[in-house]
Homo-oligomer: A and B are copies of this chain.
Amino acid sequence: MKRNRTSYVILGMLSIEPNRSGYEIRKAVASSVGYFWGESYGQIYPALKQLAAEGLIVPTLTQAGTAKKRRQQYALTDAGRACLRGWLALPFQNDPPRNEFLLKLFFAREADPGVAIAHIRQLQELNRGAIGILEGIEKMLRQQASQSPHFPYWMLTLTLGAAMTRAALEWGESALAQLALADAGAIEDRQATKSDPPPTPEG
């Protein structure tokens, strides 16, 4: 039975906490795995229908007591849980990353000299923001979920993200320094063709 990954994300989210609606699942995805996975309504709602038709999830009664909005909630069935576990045990597929930043950097020679520097600065901004967000999530996790059996795995996803982001930040600093040097070198070269060469700058 071929199934797309959206279905597994839904099963996973319901395995962590049952009785969620499509809307809630979408929000949970964005706020937990959002920095390495995304889902849109256009995928979630059809997938919910399909999963329910196959008996992997069941619609649960919206408790009429408080009646918060009208929303159809779902919970995992035994078959759904088994399906999730089967998928988890399968080797992960690492989908080829698409990194437009690196693409532009690769072709940057064709552009004006400032372009690469501007892109790297934009990347640094993004990565600094990401570090902040990751640290925020980590703090919240430690306070609110440190006793959860999910905690160690959730922390691991965070620390990998943080480690790679920090590595990228360090790279960015050195890359900016390099490009600045190269610019200075180019200026020197231009001066050198006009007058005497000053090979090393001195105070």
Contact = CB atoms under 8 A, between A and B. Distances in A.
Interface in A101-152: 101-112, 115-116, 118-119, 122-123, 126, 149-150, 152
B171 A109 contact: no
Interface in A51-76: none
A142 to B, nearest CB: 15
Contacts of A43: none
Q: A interface, by DSSP: helix, strand, loop or mixed?
A: helix
Interface of A: 5, 8-9, 12, 15-16, 32-33, 35-38, 81, 84-85, 87-89, 91-112, 115-116, 118-119, 122-123, 126, 149-150, 152-154, 156-157, 159-161, 163-164, 166-168, 170-171, 175, 178-179, 182
Given A33-B102, A99-B37, A110 B88 contact: yes
Contact of A97 (B36, B88, B179): B36
Number of identical monomers bound together in the oligomeric complex: 2
A20 to B, nearest CB: 15
A154 B36 contact: no
Contact of A38 (B5, B96, B122, B126): B96
A105 B178 contact: no
A156 B167 CA distance: 13
6 contacts: A36-B102, A38-B98, A84-B110, A88-B107, A106-B153, A106-B157
A166 to B, nearest CB: 7
Contact of A106 (B32, B119, B168): B32
Given A92-B101, A97-B97, 8 more contacts: A37-B96, A84-B107, A84-B110, A92-B104, A94-B99, A102-B160, A156-B178, A163-B167
A12 B110 contact: yes
Which among A110, A126, A159 has the highest number of chain B CB atoms within 10 Å?
Answer: A110
Given A88-B115, A92-B119, A106 B163 contact: no
